[in-house]
Structure 1
Amino acid sequence: MTTIVFLLVPGLHLLDLAGPAQVFSSAADLGHDYRLRYVADRPQVPSAQGVPVLAEVAWPELTPDDLVLVPGWRSPALAGTGRLDPASVRRLREHHDSGGTVASVCSGAYALGQAGLLDGRRCTTHHELQEELAVRYPAATVVRDVLFVLDGRVITSAGIASGIDLALHLVAMRHGPGVAARIAREMVVYARRNGDEPQSSAMLRHRAHLSDTVHRIQDEIDTRLADRLPLAELARSAGCSERTVTRLFGQATGLTPLRYQHLLRVERAEHLIGQGATVESAARAVGFEDARMLRRLRAR
């Protein structure tokens, strides 16, 4: 039986914990031998969302087949956060030194750094913490804007929901992609994402504005990604003129509606290609007549 130990830090984010825990629990429900344990420096750990989590204070006996995973905690900055007793940091390091695997979600990478496990390795964390992590651990190579990074037996992931992607990847490595896909379906996860996919999608990057009109236009484009959407049709959906659509959309996003749709199409196509689709089939799936336009846009 493989033991998954979650090392809990005060202020932990519940989804950083619950997402991976659900993946491994679902794998156990399918007949795979996983036992989940929750360890902390104290028997009750406060979460960032206000729900306390009960934990063991004594570590179980571990073997090289076991995994220790550190979920992230509320941390606008790393300094002064992630308080772990030296004994817990030492156990984390000893598990790796004895041949075991360690992993983190979001700011949990800081705990791995405290244990000396990031030096000379590639790693990642939430995009808002990447710069500080790089400054605090200059011997590490912080990989920007990816979902997770595997460097030997040290595995780090980005923020919050990326822990689900990391756990699904680990299940796929051990039991095959079919098992991981079945768990993803049971969890109603849209798709298992690859580690090198960006943390911030084009859809999110261009939604940080306050224009209700532009949000309505983007809603139309987002839901009809593969359709041909003439400017006149977008104007009707927004209840304004074509000229107003162009002006407001440019002010809010810096793009034309067509350019925004192309960005979404390319990003979706990249995801399909990463899941094994051909360039041609991905191009057709997102609304291009053939792969030539997709290749040109990818080249940009």
Structure 2
Amino acid sequence: MYQKHPGAGPLTVTVFVFPGVRLLDVTGPIEVFASANDWGGEYRVQVASEDGADVVTAAGTRLAADLSVDDVHETCDVLVIPGGPEWETLVKDDALLDAVRGLSGRARCTASVCTGAFLLAAAGLLDGRRAATHWRQTRELGLRYPSVRVEPDAIFVRDGKMMTSAGVTAGIDLSLALVEEHYGAEVARAVAKDMVVFMQRPGGQSQFSARCRVPNPRQETLRELLDSVAENPGANHSVTAMARRAGVSVRHITRLFYEEVGTSPGRYVEQVRLEAAQAMLETGDDPMVVVARHTGFGSPESLRRAFVRHLGVTPAAFRASFRTTGLGAGDRTSAADPS
């Protein structure tokens, strides 16, 4: 057993569940806190639903609730608000949002997992705060709730008593951070090793984003340029070259990009090249010099800098992490030490 932080005693974790909740959003954090109890932590975990009844998750699994929201009388140390695929419906459920507000008001820390951030935002609990959510929904969270400062690449974010995490398994990262805060790094490290996960995973969640989806701009000139970048990312796509191909000024091309793509020509081209390089690294064995040349970065060093700047990992680490789980490898490759 490891020494607890001075003054740390039994802590109560309340997990709020509802019909259609994502199963791993619930069980991931619970497993972290339960495992911590084997290594020096003292957590009491309880599951609450609106009326105390069991709920059926999005996976079709039935979850039992320990108590109803009205029966949660004591202040809890951590409130976990999971997400669900039908979050667009959930944010319109006034009774559900009232339950979230009431529980959060009795919690020292409120933590959401994945699209649970939408429930907190709809309840007004993230106004003026920084927040994270699943990478697919970061833009939507910012559009729906402009008072929330969305951090699209964060695995989890803490702002005051509110914590929000990225998609699904990021709830494990968030929970490990809380274990470290409550009982120290040694306990959190022991839990990470026990669960065979990173105590702090490399990179942000940009590395999980979809390939560039080419927008459909109103201007045909810009549409043709975007198509040419996507079709051949290794070609010369400097703003001067693109302006020359389009027969317009550099200033005009730059303005079109900002108006219809929302970013500069250079940044857009680099993003397309980055995603092309990701695809090559995921599916092929080409040397880095070939990947860099084919995707327009020119050199392995330029490729490496772009990966570290945007994804927080090197190209080699990306290839190793995302090409295979290692299952069935002839050399019995071991998983990386998660510590």
Q: Which moved more, 1:255-264 or 1:89-98?
A: 255-264
Q: How far apart, in 2, do the equivalents of 1:165 and 1:40 lie?
A: 24
Q: Deviations over 1:126-184 (max 9, x none)?
A: 12212222222222222221111111111111111111110001111111111111110
Mapped pair 1:146 → 2:154: yes
In structure 2, relative to structure 1, the CA distance for the partners of 1:110 and 1:66 (3 Å cut) is same
Say which one has the larger Rg: 2
User: Where in structure 2 are there 5+ consecutive unaligned residues?
Assistant: 1-9, 212-273, 318-339
Displacement of 1:55 in angstroms is 1.9
In structure 2, relative to structure 1, the CA distance for the partners of 1:118 and 1:217 (3 Å cut) is same
163, 184, 197: which one aligns with 2:192: 184
Q: How far apart, in 2, do the equivalents of 1:127 and 1:212 lie?
A: 22
**% identical aligned pairs:** 33
Corresponding residue number in structure 2 for 1:33: 42
Given residue 119 of structure 1, which amino acid in structure 2 is its aligned partner?
D
Mapped pair 1:200 → 2:211: no
Q: How far apart, in 2, do the equivalents of 1:209 and 1:71 lie?
A: 34
Corresponding residue number in structure 1 for 2:234: none
Corresponding residue number in structure 1 for 2:18: 9
In structure 2, relative to structure 1, the CA distance for the partners of 1:67 and 1:212 (3 Å cut) is closer
Displacement of 1:257 in angstroms is 7.9
In structure 2, relative to structure 1, the CA distance for the partners of 1:98 and 1:39 (3 Å cut) is closer
Q: How far apart, in 2, do the equivalents of 1:153 and 1:89 lie?
A: 18
Corresponding residue number in structure 1 for 2:56: 46
Displacement of 1:115 in angstroms is 2.2
Pairwise CA RMSD of aligned residues? Answer: 3.4
163, 170, 189: which one aligns with 2:178: 170
Aligned residues of 1:207 and 1:215 also touching (Cα < 8 A): no
Displacement of 1:111 in angstroms is 1.3
Q: Which moved more, 1:178-187 or 1:202-211?
A: 202-211
Q: Deviations over 1:77-129 (max 9, x none)?
A: x432456561x533432343346221101110111123221112111211221
In structure 2, relative to structure 1, the CA distance for the partners of 1:34 and 1:167 (3 Å cut) is same
Corresponding residue number in structure 1 for 2:81: 70
User: Where in structure 1 are there 5+ consecutive unaligned residues?
Assistant: 219-228, 232-244, 273-300
Q: How far apart, in 1, do the equivalents of 2:193 and 2:111 lie?
A: 24
Between the two proteins, the alignment pairs up a number of residues equal to 239
In structure 2, relative to structure 1, the CA distance for the partners of 1:139 and 1:204 (3 Å cut) is closer
Q: How far apart, in 2, do the equivalents of 1:120 and 1:167 lie?
A: 23
Displacement of 1:27 in angstroms is 1.0
Displacement of 1:193 in angstroms is 3.5
Given residue 12 of structure 1, which amino acid in structure 2 is its aligned partner?
V
